[in-house]
Each structure stands twice: as structure tokens, then as C-alpha cells.
Amino acid sequence: MTKSTLPTDDFNGRRYNAYNDWVRRVHGGRLQKVSVDAGFTCPNRDGTLGVGGCAFCNNAGFTPGYLREQHDILDQITTGVAFMRRRYHGVKAFLAYFQSYTNTYGKIEQLRKCYETALGHPDITGLVIGTRPDCLPDDVLDYLADLARWVPLELEIGIESCNDAVLRECRRGHDFVCTQNAVRRATERGLSVTGHLLLGLPLETRASLIEGARALAQLSFDALKFHQLQIIRGTRLAWRYLANPADVPLMSPETYLDAVIDILEYLPGHIKIQRLGSEIPAKQRVSPDWGGRFSRFLPIMLDARLTERKTWQGRLRRGAVSQSG
């Protein structure tokens, strides 16, 4: 593929590699993740690295209500599956999504019990495990690689930013080299890795996003998720924003889409785009308010903006260089 060739055949007629298109093609329907809260914490909360978490983090903004009401993993899954069956049609399989906080931050015995309990539910066919790059020691990666030999397993690593100044500003507790090393060590073991990016963090710029995209292009991701920065109640960023909104500039939908595209242009075509944005419940969100169900229209808006810019995923891929961190 050259810079002048639009790969619509590769992308099912789109200008980017949409994860949902791949799921329908390979699995013949919808793969639905069912969120699980296994009671894990985070080194940035329990005092190992810090307390209070990252400046942007309050998991309540992403946590389904049933996870706050039930503690048993199997009960959570049963409730979640019933909810998803009512909400969606054509679900082919359910995956247990260990989403809350850092789900590899524990001893192997604890991890094994949690994951294998979920896999014992009759509706669960695989796992998605959300974690931080600094919580993936070799013994955990070895165990996950063994598990992935007999069950579908996706490791979701929170990157958030590829820029060390941004990571320090939001009190992330690790640098980008840590992310690079974690992804390499995971993919060398054959694990499927999805990266999570949070666009719009303080100190992030268009130049730093593009530099980060070039670095991400050198890693063996299976998929990426994009989220826009939203100010969530109870976070350090919320206190900062409420004290002085000008101190935390927020993206508009238009600038956010352009930021996504700036990254997409440098990504290899095989990387599936699993998510384009998210919505925090209004009672948890301080700002911004982009209108109800914004995320539902993001794929349409992104396709339109890609067409307007006459570009596509991977258009500038050739000549991408690695970032030292």
C-alpha cells in the first residue's frame, strides 16, 4: 500500500480498521464484554506509588451499577449477561471484562482464582483483563500466556499518553518506556494486547500525539481504544478544573476527532480500533457535555472527517520512527 492508495477493501469500505467489522466477519455477530469488579486496587492508590490515583481517575464514572451492589464474581456476570441480552441482539459470545482498577495487581494465586472463577460461568468464553504497564511482572505474563493457550484472552494496557511530561503531570506513576517494555514482553509471549489512550490530558499537544503515534506504530498491538478526557467528580483534575477551568483546556468534538485522525494516520492497518470515545454519566461528569449518546455517532463522524481530510489509517505510516521515551 502506498501513500496514495485508499485501502477501502482492507477496511470493509471504511477509512480505518474498525474492531466491530472484524468481530462480525470472524465471529458472525457481537462479542459482548461483561464488566467484573474483582476487588483489585492500584499501586497509585494503596501507597506503593501514591494515594488517590491518577489525576483523571475515578472508576465510578465507568462502573455499572450492579458492580456496586454485588461482590461475587459469578453473580456480577449473571446480572451483566442478563442486562446485555436485553440491550443487544445477536450476541455470539460473552467475555468477562476485569475492568475496575488494576486487574493484575495481586499474587498469582489471587489472579488465578478470579480469572478461573469467571471462566467457570457457563456464558463466559474468554477474558479481557485491564491493567497498568507497571503491574505485569514476568510470572504474571507467563501465567496469562499459559491461560491464553486454551481460552481467548485480551490484555488491555492503559497507556493514556506516550509523553513523559504528560504522564508526570497526571501523576501516572510510570513513564512511556515502561509501557513499551510491557507491550513488548506481553506480545513476545503471544498475548493479544489492546492499548488504551486518553486524549486531551494537560500538556498534551498535537506534536506529542503524533510523536507518540509513531512510537506506538513500532509495537505489536492488536487493537487500540481512544477516549476523550472527561472531568470526573472526585478527581484531582476536577478540583483543578473547578478552581480554574482555563487551567485544564478541554477538547471540542471537532478537535478530538482531528486528534484521533492525527494518530490513525501513523498506525499500521492491522491495528483494530476498538473504541472511539466514551460517555461518563451526567451525575459523575463535571465537563465537557458533548450531548447525549455522543459516542454512538462517533464512527459516522470519524468517517466523515476522514473523508473531508482525504486521509485514512496508515496513510503516513511509511517512515515512522521510534520514540526513545
pLDDT single digits (tens) 173-216: 999 999 999 999 999 999 999 999 999 999 999 999 999 999 99
Q: Give this prediction's pTM.
A: 0.91
Domain count, the chain: 1
Domain for residue 314, yes or no?
A: no
Q: What is the mean pLDDT of the chain?
A: 90
Instruction: Identify whether 14 is part of a domain.
Output: no
Check: CB of residue 163 under 8 Å from CB of residue 204.
yes
Q: Which residue has the higher pLDDT, 85 or 155?
A: 155
% the chain with pLDDT above 90 = 74
**Cell numbers at 63, concatenated:** 462502573
Whether residue 103 contacts residue 129, with contact meaning beta carbons closer than 8 Å, is answered with yes
| Pairwise CA distance, residues 224 & 278, whole Å | 14
Cell readout for 154 is 485480551
Tell me the C-alpha distance between 288 and 273, whole Å: 23
C-alpha to C-alpha distances, 227 to 4, 43, 67, 198, nearest whole angstrom: 29, 22, 22, 5
Q: Cα dist. 203→36, 79, 159, 227 in Å? A: 33, 41, 16, 17
Q: Which domain holds residue 154?
A: 19-309
pLDDT at residue 64 tops 80: no
Q: Please indicate, yes or no, if residue 12 is contained in any of the structural domains.
A: no
Asked if residue 130 has pLDDT above 70, the reply is yes
Of residues 241 and 298, the one with the higher pLDDT is 241
- The pLDDT of 285-294, averaged and rounded, is 81
* Joined grid coordinates for residue 313: 489509517
186 domain residue, yes or no: yes
| Within a domain: 205 | yes
**Integer angstrom CA distances of residue 49 from 45, 137, 156, 182:** 7, 16, 21, 18
Beta bridge partners of 195: 157, 224
Of residues 220, 233, 159, 229, the one with CA closest to residue 195: 159
DSSP string, 181-231: HHHHHHHHTT-EEEEEEEET-TT--HHHHHHHHHHHTTS--SEEEEEE--E
Rounded-to-integer distance, Cα 224 and Cα 277, Å: 11
- Please give the distance of CA 309 from its chain centroid, rounded to a whole number: 25
Q: Which three cell numbers stand for residue 263?
A: 494518530
**What pLDDT, on a 0 to 100 scale, did the predictor assign at position 320?**
40
C-alpha cell at 317: 505510516
265 is a domain residue: yes
Q: Tell me the C-alpha distance between 166 and 68, whole Å.
A: 31
Burial class of residue 276 in the structure, from the number of CB atoms within 10 Å of its CB (0-12 exposed, 13-18 middle, 19+ buried)? buried
Higher-confidence residue of 260 and 51: namely 260
pLDDT value of position 60: 64
**Is pLDDT above 60 for 322?**
no
Q: Are strands 231-232 and 285-287 parallel, antiparallel or unpaired?
A: antiparallel
User: Does residue 9 lie in a domain region?
Assistant: no
The CATH number of whichever domain residue 101 belongs to comes to 3.20.20.70
In a domain, 84, yes or no: yes
Nearest-angstrom CA–CA distance, 192 and 223: 8
Q: Indicate if the pLDDT at residue 5 is higher than 80.
A: no
